[in-house]
Amino acid sequence: MKAIGRWREAAHVDKGALFRRVETHFDGSVAGVGRSALYPNSITLIYKRLIRAAHTKKLLGEMSEAELERWVAAVSSHSIRVGVAQDNFAADESLPAIMQAYRWRDPRTAMRYGAKLAPKSGAGARMAERFSDSS
């Protein structure tokens, strides 16, 4: 939250989208920040670039090129939303709390993400597994 606050202050983002286009000078300094939100596909491309950069810097451990390509192909702008929901289930957060935090109206949405966890990952994951078996 502190980093988001610093970004909002530095970019003069008082309202609206948090993720915006950043234009840079040749030396890497910021030339300007856009007014509108990035397109979801732009975020996907950024994630893919970050994975490749982490691999180049050896931050992902030993990984074949084929495995790297599987990671890059699997990531999307939606990946973070799914991952944070799974983290909350694994931390035994309640379904109503998760729904409120991420503005989901339908519990099936959150439960679908929780069901992707191994049932032993926590009470939330076990609950998600039970719900997915009954649908």
Q: Which of 37, 39, 30 is nearest to 11 (CA)?
A: 30
d(CA 88, CA 123): 11
Instruction: Tell if the pTM clears 0.75, that is, is over it.
Output: no
Nearest by Cα to 111 from 94, 124, 128? 128
Structure confidence by residue, pLDDT tens digits, 40-84? 789 899 999 999 999 999 999 898 999 999 999 989 888 888 888
